[in-house]
Amino acid sequence: MKSLEELRAIREKMQKQIDIRENSADDIRVVVGMATCGIAAGARPVLTAFLEEVAKRELKNVTVTQTGCIGVCRLEPIAEVYVPGEEKVTYVKLTPEKVPRIVAEHLVNHNPVTEYTIGAAE
Amino acid sequence: MKELSLHLLDIAQNSIAAGARHVDLTVEERGELIQLTVADDGRGMSPAFLASVTDPFTTTRTTRKVGLGLPLLRLAAEQTGGELRVESQLGVGTTVTATFHADHIDCPPLGDTASTVALLAQGLPEGMELTYTRRTGRGEFRFDTAEIRAVLGPDVPLSEPEVAEWMRSYVAEGEGETA
């Protein structure tokens, strides 16, 4: 059974990492579109997959956030990746299966997965 | 939408957009009826906007002239013989109630409510809280982000992936006991 004790343990672990995190100016942002269009197209499992993958790899410099309609509803689910100092990358028609590769290649190794981007889809 | 819980996720986004400080989600099973409620204390709607709010060509969004969240929910509910009610008052808030007949062949499954609740909590804007109540004939489960924040303290936000994962399992297990 999941308990609040477990949550306290997570807090303690996180608090130890906060100092390290505050020193890093290179925070990467992943923004997933969660409007009606995104949700209907399957954005919920995609967002869950990003959170799982970032938690699993303990990527402390990555924040995963949600936004409304990005504006290209027919290409949902969409996620935008912002790496400081690099151009924004827009991934389209995402599935949970595509997420681990984006996390490994783009968020960790800074090589965008070109074949999943809006440029490749258009 | 393939699951009722996806409608819940979608409609709750409206409460966030309405600048609510609290949003209360309820999923209640009573016999063959499933009732979903999203109640917020956001900015509310004018009577004129409210009158046309389930019209797909009424929306507050700026990227398109259509808004399909409430129309789709209304359609889904009515297809099962149920209904959608929207009550709203400017400056007070909005309550959306959708009733489904679970024994109707067109009723979608309730689906992964735990993911919906955890992801909403993960993406809550600062200063906003969410409660989730699951009620069945066998019991009640309640989840409140204010309680979770009290445990986490000021330094660890709900948006942390590990916290989101914990919330999802916690809600899944907790509401599983009412199933």
For B166, which of A2, A48, A63 is closest by C-beta distance? Answer: A2
Query: Which CATH number does B4-176 carry?
Result: 3.30.565
Taking one residue from A and the other from B, the number of pairs with CB-CB distance under 8 angstroms is 101
Average confidence (pLDDT) over A4-9? 92
Q: How far apart are CA B179 and CA B173, in angstroms?
A: 10
Q: Does A16 map to a domain? A: no
Mean pLDDT, all residues of chain A? 91
Domain count for chain A: 1
Q: Does A91 map to a domain? A: yes
Q: Does A114 map to a domain? A: yes
3-class SS of residue A90:
strand
How would you classify the pairing of strands A28-33 and A79-82?
antiparallel
Residue numbers of the domain that contains A67: 24-121
Q: How confident is the model at residue A122 (pLDDT cuts 50, 70, 90)?
A: confident
What pLDDT score does B12 carry?
96
Q: What CATH number does the domain containing A72 carry?
A: 3.40.30.10
Q: Order across the sheet with B22-30: list the strands.
A: B83-89, B93-101, B33-40, B22-30, B129-136, B139-144
Q: Does A40 map to a domain? A: yes
C-alpha distance from B153 to closest chain A C-alpha (Å) = 8
Helices B145-152 & B161-176 angle (0-180, nearest 10): 130
Which of A2, A36, A46 to probe the B interface (max B CBs under 10 A)? Answer: A36
Residue ranges of chain A whose CB lies within 8 Å of a chain B CB: 1-2, 4, 6-8, 10-11, 13-15, 18, 34-37, 39-40, 44-45, 47-48, 50-52, 54-55, 63-66, 68-71, 73
Question: Residue A1: pLDDT above 70?
Answer: no
Q: Does A3 map to a domain? A: no
What pLDDT score does A15 carry?
85
Question: Residue B51: pLDDT above 60?
Answer: yes
Q: Does A7 map to a domain? A: no
3-class SS of residue A58:
coil
Q: Does A18 map to a domain? A: no
**Model ipTM?**
0.91
| C-beta pairs of B52-59 under 8 Å, 24+ apart in sequence | B53/B86, B53/B88, B54/B84, B54/B86
Average confidence (pLDDT) over A39-61? 95
pLDDT digits (tens, 9 = 90+) for A76-106: 999 999 999 999 999 999 999 999 999 999 9
Average confidence (pLDDT) over B102-108? 96
DSSP A105: I
Q: How confident is the model at residue A20 (pLDDT cuts 50, 70, 90)?
A: low
What pLDDT score does B54 carry?
86
What pLDDT score does B65 carry?
67
Q: How far, CA to CA in Å, does B12 sit from each of B22, B25, B37, B123, B170?
A: 11, 8, 10, 11, 20
| Strand boundaries in A3-71, DSSP class E | 28-33, 62-67
Residue ranges of chain B whose CB lies within 8 Å of a chain A CB: 1, 6, 9-10, 13, 17, 61, 63-64, 67-69, 72, 112, 115-116, 119, 122-123, 148, 151-153, 155-156, 159-166, 168-170, 173-174
| C-beta pairs of B80-88 under 8 Å, 24+ apart in sequence | B80/B104, B80/B106, B80/B107, B82/B33, B84/B54, B86/B50, B86/B53, B86/B54, B88/B44, B88/B45, B88/B50, B88/B53
Q: How confident is the model at residue A110 (pLDDT cuts 50, 70, 90)?
A: very high
C-alpha distance from A22 to closest chain B C-alpha (Å) = 11
3-class SS of residue A34:
coil
**In chain A, pLDDT over 70 holds for what percent of residues?**
93
What pLDDT score does B64 carry?
67
Q: How far apart are CA B130 and CA B40, in angstroms?
A: 9
Contact residues on chain B for A2, CB-CB shorter than 8 A: 166, 169-170, 173-174
